[in-house]
Structure 1
Amino acid sequence: MLWSFLIALGLVLAMAGSVLFYLWNGLRPTAASSKTVMITISSGMRAQKVAEMLEENGLIRNASLFNGWLKLQGEGSRFQAGEYELTPGMTRDQIVAKLNKGDIVAASTIKFTIPEGFTVQQIADRLAEKAGIDKAKFLEIAGKPEEWTGSIWTKTLPTDKNLRYPLEGYLFPDTYEMKAGSTESEIINRMLAELDRKLDQLPEDWLGTLEERGLTVHQLLTVASLVEREVVIDEERPIVSSVIENRLKKKMPLQIDATIQYSLDKPKERLLEADLKVKSPYNTYLNAGLPPGPIANPSLKSIEAALYPEQTDYFYYVTKKDGTNSHLFAETFKQHQKNIKLSEKNEKK
Structure 2
Amino acid sequence: MPPLSARIRVDSRRTGEHGLSRSEHLPDRERTNGEDRPAGPGKARITFWVITTILGLMILIAGGTYLYIWNGLRPTGAGDAVQVELKKGSSPFQFAEALEENGIIRNAFLFKYYLRYKDEGPRFQAGMYELKPGMDKQAIIAKLNAGETVKAPTVRFTIPEGFTVQQIADTLAKDGIVDKSAFLALADKDQAWPDTDASKNIPKNAKLRHRLEGYLFPETYELPKDSKPDAIIDRMLQELDRKLDGLPENWEDQLAANDVDFNGMLTVASLVEREVVVDEERPIVAGIIFNRLKKGMPLQIDATVQYLLDKQKERLMQSDLQVESPYNTYKVKGLPPGPIASPSLKSIEAALFPKKTDYYYYVTKKDGSHEHLFAETLKQHNENIAKSNQTAKQ
TM-score range, shorter chain: 0.7 to 0.9
Cα distance in 2, alignment partners of residues 86 and 118 from structure 1: 43
For 1:125, the equivalent position in structure 2 comes to 170
Residues 1:250 and 2:287 aligned together: no
CA offsets, 1:165-200, max 9 Å, x none? 111111222233344444332332222222223223
Instruction: Call closer, same or farther: CA 1:337–1:72 in 2, change over 3 Å.
Output: closer
Cα distance in 2, alignment partners of residues 150 and 258 from structure 1: 31
For 1:168, the equivalent position in structure 2 comes to 213
Contact 1:111–1:131 (CA<8 Å) still a contact in 2? Answer: no
Residues 1:317 and 2:362 aligned together: yes
User: Secondary structure, in 3 states, of the residue corresponding to 1:111?
Assistant: strand
Cα distance in 2, alignment partners of residues 209 and 138 from structure 1: 33
Cα distance in 1, alignment partners of residues 146 and 252 from structure 2: 45
For 2:383, the equivalent position in structure 1 comes to 338
Cα distance in 2, alignment partners of residues 73 and 249 from structure 1: 69
For 1:220, the equivalent position in structure 2 comes to 265
1:191 to 229, 236, 243: 236
For 2:184, the equivalent position in structure 1 comes to 139
CA offsets, 1:229-269, max 9 Å, x none? 11111222122122212221222211111001001122222
Instruction: Call closer, same or farther: CA 1:77–1:331 in 2, change over 3 Å.
Output: closer
Cα distance in 2, alignment partners of residues 47 and 204 from structure 1: 42
Residues 1:113 and 2:143 aligned together: no
Matches within 5 A, 1:55-134: 55-72=100-117, 74-130=119-175, 132-134=177-179
Cα distance in 2, alignment partners of residues 102 and 203 from structure 1: 34
Residues 1:280 and 2:280 aligned together: no
Cα distance in 2, alignment partners of residues 259 and 52 from structure 1: 61
Cα distance in 1, alignment partners of residues 207 and 182 from structure 2: 21
Percent of aligned pairs with the same amino acid: 58
Instruction: Call closer, same or farther: CA 1:200–1:67 in 2, change over 3 Å.
Output: closer
1:268 to 306, 310, 313: 313
Cα distance in 2, alignment partners of residues 341 and 303 from structure 1: 31
CA offsets, 1:102-123, max 9 Å, x none? 3333444443322211111222
1:302 to 347, 350, 353: 347
Question: How far off is 1:69 after superposition?
Answer: 4.5
Cα distance in 1, alignment partners of residues 276 and 119 from structure 2: 64
User: Secondary structure, in 3 states, of the residue corresponding to 2:188?
Assistant: coil
1:293 to 329, 338, 341: 338
120-129 or 103-112: which moved more?
A: 103-112
Letter in 1 for 2:348: I
Provide TM-score, normalisation by structure 1: 0.85
For 1:3, the equivalent position in structure 2 comes to none
For 2:247, the equivalent position in structure 1 comes to 202
User: Secondary structure, in 3 states, of the residue corresponding to 2:387?
Assistant: helix
Question: How far off is 1:131 after superposition?
Answer: 7.3
For 1:5, the equivalent position in structure 2 comes to none
Cα distance in 2, alignment partners of residues 145 and 79 from structure 1: 39
Cα distance in 2, alignment partners of residues 96 and 331 from structure 1: 70
Instruction: Call closer, same or farther: CA 1:200–1:30 in 2, change over 3 Å.
Output: closer
Contact 1:112–1:131 (CA<8 Å) still a contact in 2? Answer: no
1:39 to 75, 84, 88: 84
Contact 1:223–1:294 (CA<8 Å) still a contact in 2? Answer: yes
User: Secondary structure, in 3 states, of the residue corresponding to 1:273?
Assistant: coil
Question: How far off is 1:300 after superposition?
Answer: 1.8
For 1:211, the equivalent position in structure 2 comes to 256
What's the C-alpha RMSD, in Å, of the aligned pairs?
Answer: 3.0
Residues 1:155 and 2:197 aligned together: no
Cα distance in 2, alignment partners of residues 42 and 266 from structure 1: 47
Instruction: Call closer, same or farther: CA 1:233–1:168 in 2, change over 3 Å.
Output: same
Question: How far off is 1:297 after superposition?
Answer: 1.0
Letter in 2 for 1:250: K
Extract unaligned runs of 5+ from structure 2: 1-53
Letter in 2 for 1:32: A
Contact 1:27–1:62 (CA<8 Å) still a contact in 2? Answer: yes
Cα distance in 2, alignment partners of residues 201 and 214 from structure 1: 22
CA offsets, 1:181-221, max 9 Å, x none? 44332332222222223223333332222113321010001
Larger relative contact order, structure 1 or 2 (CA cutoff 8 Å, min sep 6): 1
Count, aligned residues? 339
Residues 1:259 and 2:310 aligned together: no
Contact 2:270–2:342 (CA<8 Å) still a contact in 1? Answer: yes
User: Secondary structure, in 3 states, of the residue corresponding to 2:85?
Assistant: strand
Contact 2:198–2:240 (CA<8 Å) still a contact in 1? Answer: no
User: Secondary structure, in 3 states, of the residue corresponding to 2:252?
Assistant: helix
For 1:4, the equivalent position in structure 2 comes to none
Contact 2:293–2:334 (CA<8 Å) still a contact in 1? Answer: yes
Question: How far off is 1:30 after superposition?
Answer: 3.8
